[in-house]
A and B are shown apart, each in its own frame.
Chain A
Amino acid sequence: MNQFQYVRPTKTKAAIEALAKDANAQFIAGGTNLLDLMKRGVMTPPRLIDINRLPLDKIEKAEAGLRIGALVLNSTVAEDKLVRERHPLLAQALAAGASAQLRNMATVGGNMLQRTRCSYFYDTAMPCNKREPGSGCGALEGHNRMHAIFGFSDKCIAVHPSDMSVVLVALDAAVLLSGPKGERRLAFSDLHRLPGDTPQRDTNLEPGELILGVEIPDSPFTRHVHYLKVRERASYAFALVSVAAALSLDGNTIKDARLAMGGVAHKPWRLSAAEKSLIGKPATEATFRQAAELAMQGAKAFKHNAYKLQLAPNTIVQALKNAAASA
């Protein structure tokens, strides 16, 4: 690990000012990802701004819905009564992530800013445009079992690893930001970006911006929801494919639906066309299969991830079946 300076402001304004002074500085909260990256030499921030003492650790009812502070722990959100009542899908996704020990350290803000788990990104002896722009994409012609089938570019085919983000995209959440130019609100679906020619940028955060929290609007998706994460072992692994499925049912008829996928793109992948196709239809496997096929339009596989073309639609179907069956 490199040497670094460390500061621990107690006020949000001070934290933002500290970052403004040093463009290479990094905020640190739980550190569950950043410390690994620093130990491996992937990230070498000269200064860490510890934000754990900022007053951003509340879950509150807000006008538009539920507001969750950036510093609330993943385990706290997963167990919170309000969250479980109003957004059980979010609780499920958080419980599916990492391990109990990590969930007890990781924060909501840090969760959405996780860097990709692409092996080429993690090894400084390998090419990676995200880590070192211009060095090439190691995964493109290399091992790409875990990689994207949507929205990639020839510069980067990595996927975003967060489970929580998949649900926040599905539930039309917004992320609340504060920066040198003041506060702003960003649709969660606009937080993460596709790699294009600048895969080094994971998000649309402006320089110096701090995440204050997220807001999730109230919704009818409180019963028939399921977060299905398919992975290579029963726990503590990143998704091969994950699906957040939420249904609003009238009898067996689908009134409204939300669908998003993880493990398939550089950002959480909202399946809007598939959602629309579900509305007004009976909640049957045939309906779900049609939606899944719609969702897969435009998907393209690489050498080692062709299985995702089969796994992804199957996972959508299974998640919808589970959502419809849950009460």
Chain B
Amino acid sequence: MSNTALFQDKVVGDRMNRVDGRLKVTGAAQYSAEYQLPGLVHGALVGSTIAKGRITGIDTKAAERAPGVLAVITHLNSPKVPGFAAKSNPDEPPAIGQPLRVFYDERIYFNDQPIALVVADTLERARYAARLVKATYAPEEHRTNFEANKERGVLPTQAKRNPKSPQNDKDRGQKDGYQTAPVKLEAEYRHPSEMHNPMELQSIIAHWEAPDRLTVYDKVQAVKGTQRAFAKDWNLPEDNVKVVATFVGGAFGNGLHNWPHETAAIIGAKVTGKPVKLVLTREQMFTMVGYRPYTWQRIGIGATRDGKLVGITHESVGQTSSYEEFTESTLQQTRMMYACPNVSTRYRILGLDISTPIWMRGPGEATGAFALESALDELAHLLNMDPIELRLRNYADTDPDNGKPWSTKYLKELYQMGAERIGWSRRQLKPGSLREGDWLIGYGMGVGTFGANRGAAKVRAVLRQDGTVLLQSATTDIGPGTGTAMVQIAADALDMPTDQIRFELGNSTFPNAPSQGGSATVNTVGSAVLAACIDLKKKLQQLGGASFANVQPEQLTLTNGQLGLKANGGPRTAFADLCKANNGQDIEVTTEAKPGNERQQYSMYSFSIHFAEVRVHALTGEVRVTRLVSGADAGTIVNLKTAGSQMIGGAIGGIGMALHEGAVMDDRFGRYVTKDLADYHVPVHADAPPVEVFFVGKPDTIVDPLGTKGIGEIAIIGVAPAITNAIFNATGKRIRELPVTPDKVLLA
């Protein structure tokens, strides 16, 4: 891993170990299901066995009589959730429609929809009794087959309502202009639904501390959003709902929606008067908590014989449920990545009798990049041209989608650095040229991009009488190492040692911050940490009196328990004296930081590049990814170690997308046949080669004062096409339907 040496004498840029690493590896970190509350009882959900229709009866007698059972809750006896009368409950509704109202009525919208909750004194008794609940149904004809219904795809309602919505059809230049090009091709690409399976199962403990005070320990990516959602559901003041998510064991977007099981647990706690713990089973993770939707895409692309793009048309149909419109930005990369005079994009969604999808790492863009970056590779092959050369000939120096300048863009540097690292010169233009024994060898590449987003966030900064600084913000850490990055930012801003700074998150009582999603946490919360630290310094300056009156905050240092000047020999005041001057209190500031109008002037994106070397067995069709090189133009890298880990994780997720992951539905029953990790494959260690990560490392201070742009999404966007392009280079076989399993390679 390399980083331009920008960060001399700074903590930002270090390979600092995670501040909570020890807690995590020793098991001391408490996840949502691990809180010990007096009187805690356990819930188990019963799912429907039809995909569409009505419940005509539920026999709960045997379950109610089973040992240890405290309650069996169904739509027949559930207390009414006041907010269910109103529309929508989640924080930022990802969809237009009505999120599933658990135990609300007899309607069934998807197979394995929760129809009953059993609460018992132990987990085993709850799960046993859940099996005794028997439902009868009046089934209705269901639609779960995407391909059979593809033509029914519709423009999303938000696009119909708002002509400015990016989900509308859009033409730059001539509509379908690719058709006029001397060299052109058309191709369809498919990828199946990919199911959210972070290591930690979805889990919640719901505790009514008083009839009007709810605390939930909940695996979510938005503590404030969840607080607002449940306050609305239960008609409570927001402050009466407390949401705790101190540790989250991976989420990838799955915790950005509030799901039926959460409300089921809250109802269970209401009915029994006890704290209820509900942990989904692994099988329920496949049906109840979202997924990356099945998507069909068609690309038409054309160029001149010397490789200047004439046009790209990109259409897609993404799956959603019958009750919510989930949309994602599948076509965005096509609109902005290449200098191309004619670009047409048309996005449709298809509602099926399946649960609602949700964002999954690189949502939309990872799907779209598979089609776009494959099509570029196909075109390069038609032109007999190196795929990097084709991209360089169509390099966009400004955003072709809106004409704005980029805030920063170092994609040319990424092409060059990546090509050197993978040894791109070994790649042969003619597919099937490299072979070792029975293994065919190929090289491929793909580009990824994601908006460099920033929102508003507040941070509380407190200089405590013990001489440490405590920072708090209601963001979450789903794994990237948010607390660590924030401590590093604060250490530089305060000029204070990292071990004297603590950052607390994952609690709705902390100052407001958005959900952890969209690769925006460091941009958003990190900027607020920076601002709060500067405000804290200013306050200390005031308390420190005349000796600090005429200096800039950057000149101040907080070392050795004293406020002082960075320059040697200046005045120094002990923290204790500053607290004395503050009436003996901790010294506290709360600061909000938010973006300005830079988005109106600039186009702001992170960029990534991925190179793959693969081996494909000539007789068995097995594919092995033997090397991956992933690079990012993501602005300032706050922590090279955790950022590198994010890139590696994304790259391995991309291997899963390319080669392994895919939900399979039996449309006769509207029920998945892949519903555990034996049937639904993700890469294992043996599938994950060494991943070489590199960063351009140049700050983008237009996005935010730290110069960061975001890494989480671009780590996976473009990986799958890099691998499938390499498979083509190895074999001459172009497989346009993911995942590329041995059967597809053999039959191609």
- Residues of A in contact with B (beta carbons under 8 Å apart): 1-3, 40-41, 99, 117, 119-120, 122-123, 125-126, 138, 141-143, 145, 228, 230-238, 240, 306-307, 310-311, 314-315, 317-318, 321
Beta-carbon contacts of B666-700 to A below 8 Å, as 1s and 0s?
10110101111011010111110000000000000
Does residue B742 face the partner (Cβ distance < 8 Å to A)? yes
Least CB distance, B440 to chain A, in whole angstroms: 14
Q: Does A235 contact B684, Cβ atoms closer than 8 Å? A: yes
Question: Once bound together, how far apart are the Cα atoms of A314 and B617, in whole Å?
Answer: 11
Does residue B741 face the partner (Cβ distance < 8 Å to A)? yes
Contact of B673 among A143, A230, A310 (CB under 8 A): A143
Q: Assess A142 versus B666: contact at CB under 8 Å? Given A1-B127, A120-B673, A318-B438.
A: yes
Q: Which of B3-11, B619-627, B704-712 contacts A (4 or more CB under 8 A)?
A: B619-627
Beta-carbon contacts of B113-139 to A below 8 Å, as 1s and 0s?
000000000001001100100000000
Least CB distance, A256 to chain B, in whole angstroms: 24
Contact of B687 among A120, A234, A318 (CB under 8 A): A234
Contact of B675 among A123, A145, A240, A315 (CB under 8 A): A123
Q: Which residues of B contact A321 (CB under 8 A)?
A: 438
Q: Give the nearest-CB partner of B679 in chain A.
A: A119
- B contact residues, range: 35 or more
The 9 closest A-B pairs by CB, nearest first: A234-B686, A307-B743, A235-B686, A314-B619, A119-B673, A125-B49, A230-B620, A234-B687, A318-B619
Q: Does B742 contact A141, Cβ atoms closer than 8 Å? A: no
Q: Assess A234 versus B673: contact at CB under 8 Å? Given A126-B666, A311-B621.
A: no
Q: Does B128 contact A3, Cβ atoms closer than 8 Å? A: yes
Least CB distance, A57 to chain B, in whole angstroms: 27
Q: Which residues of B contact A143 (CB under 8 A)?
A: 664, 666, 673
Q: Assess A123 versus B673: contact at CB under 8 Å? Given A1-B127, A232-B742, A318-B620.
A: yes
- Residues of B in contact with A (beta carbons under 8 Å apart): 49, 124, 127-128, 131, 283, 438, 617, 619-622, 624, 659-660, 664, 666, 668-669, 671, 673-676, 678-679, 681, 683-687, 741-743, 746-747
Q: Give the nearest-CB partner of B673 in chain A.
A: A119
Q: Does B686 contact A311, Cβ atoms closer than 8 Å? A: no
Contact of B660 among A122, A126, A232 (CB under 8 A): A232
Number of A-B contacts (CB under 8 A): 91
Contact of B747 among A138, A233, A310 (CB under 8 A): A310
Q: Does A1 contact B666, Cβ atoms closer than 8 Å? A: no
Q: Which residues of A contact B676 (CB under 8 A)?
A: 122
Q: Does B674 contact A119, Cβ atoms closer than 8 Å? A: yes
Chain A contact surface mostly? loop
Q: Does B619 contact A2, Cβ atoms closer than 8 Å? A: no
Q: Does B128 contact A1, Cβ atoms closer than 8 Å? A: yes
Q: Which residues of A contact B283 (CB under 8 A)?
A: 40
Q: Does A307 contact B747, Cβ atoms closer than 8 Å? A: yes
Known pairs A232-B742, A311-B746 / 15 extra A-B pairs, C-beta < 8 Å: A1-B127, A1-B128, A123-B675, A141-B668, A230-B621, A230-B622, A233-B686, A233-B687, A234-B624, A235-B686, A236-B684, A307-B746, A311-B742, A311-B743, A318-B617
Question: Once bound together, how far apart are the Cα atoms of A119 and B666, in whole Å?
Answer: 11
Q: Does B619 contact A315, Cβ atoms closer than 8 Å? A: yes
Q: Which residues of B contact A311 (CB under 8 A)?
A: 620-621, 742-743, 746
Q: Does B666 contact A232, Cβ atoms closer than 8 Å? A: no
Q: Does A126 contact B671, Cβ atoms closer than 8 Å? A: yes
30 A-B pairs whose Cβ atoms sit less than 8 Å apart in the complex: A1-B124, A2-B128, A41-B131, A119-B679, A122-B676, A123-B673, A125-B669, A126-B669, A142-B668, A143-B664, A143-B673, A145-B743, A228-B620, A230-B622, A230-B742, A232-B660, A232-B741, A233-B660, A233-B684, A233-B687, A234-B624, A234-B684, A234-B687, A235-B684, A235-B686, A236-B686, A306-B747, A311-B742, A315-B620, A318-B620
Q: Which residues of B contact A40 (CB under 8 A)?
A: 283
Question: Once bound together, how far apart are the Cα atoms of A318 and B685, in whole Å?
Answer: 25
Q: Which residues of B contact A314 (CB under 8 A)?
A: 619-620, 746
Q: Which residues of A contact B678 (CB under 8 A)?
A: 117, 238
Question: Once bound together, how far apart are the Cα atoms of A126 and B672, in whole Å?
Answer: 10
Q: Give the nearest-CB partner of A240 in chain B.
A: B742
Q: Which residues of A contact B617 (CB under 8 A)?
A: 318
Q: Give the nearest-CB partner of A141 in chain B.
A: B668
Q: Does A142 contact B673, Cβ atoms closer than 8 Å? A: yes
Question: Once bound together, how far apart are the Cα atoms of A272 and B747, in whole Å?
Answer: 28
Q: Give the nearest-CB partner of A307 in chain B.
A: B743
Q: Which residues of A contact B746 (CB under 8 A)?
A: 307, 310-311, 314
Least CB distance, B120 to chain A, in whole angstroms: 13
Question: Once bound together, how far apart are the Cα atoms of A99 and B676, in whole Å?
Answer: 16
Question: Once bound together, how far apart are the Cα atoms of A205 and B127, in whole Å?
Answer: 33
Question: Once bound together, how far apart are the Cα atoms of A321 and B678, in whole Å?
Answer: 30
Question: Once bound together, how far apart are the Cα atoms of A145 and B676, in whole Å?
Answer: 17
Q: Does B681 contact A123, Cβ atoms closer than 8 Å? A: no
Question: Once bound together, how far apart are the Cα atoms of A125 and B128, in whole Å?
Answer: 16
Q: Which residues of A contact B49 (CB under 8 A)?
A: 125
